[in-house]
Amino acid sequence: MFYEAIFQPSDKMNYNTDAKRLAGKRIAVQDGWLIEDGPFKGQHCFYIPNSTVGWIPQCDLLELKPISLARWQEIDKSLGLNG
């Protein structure tokens, strides 16, 4: 599934530079998996395909909602992470 959300990084996660640039921005993410260990154990996570951002715990995503593929591609392209 495809989602959009506002990325609000927490202090618990050690995000890289690409991720930190996205703080406060609306991002396009895809459905991930259930986190099995660490401070986010039991939470669902999401990710931005073809990026170096890595996984994002659901608690760092505000206003998370499902969207169409066309809308997802529009947001993803605007981020400029995938060439």
The structure's pTM equals: 0.89
> For the chain, what are the domain ranges?
2-79
Q: What is the pLDDT of residues 13-70, one digit of tens each?
A: 999 998 999 999 999 999 999 999 999 999 999 999 888 899 999 999 999 999 999 9
pLDDT tier, 81 (very low <50, low <70, confident <90, very high otherwise) = confident
Give the pLDDT confidence score for residue 8 in this predicted structure: 96
Q: Please list, residue by residue across 4-34, b when 16 or more beta carbons sit within 10 angstroms of its beta carbon and e when fewer do.
A: bbebebeeebebeeebeebeeeebbbeeeee
Cα–Cα dist 56/78, whole Å: 19
Cα–Cα dist 48/52, whole Å: 8
Give the pLDDT confidence score for residue 11 in this predicted structure: 87
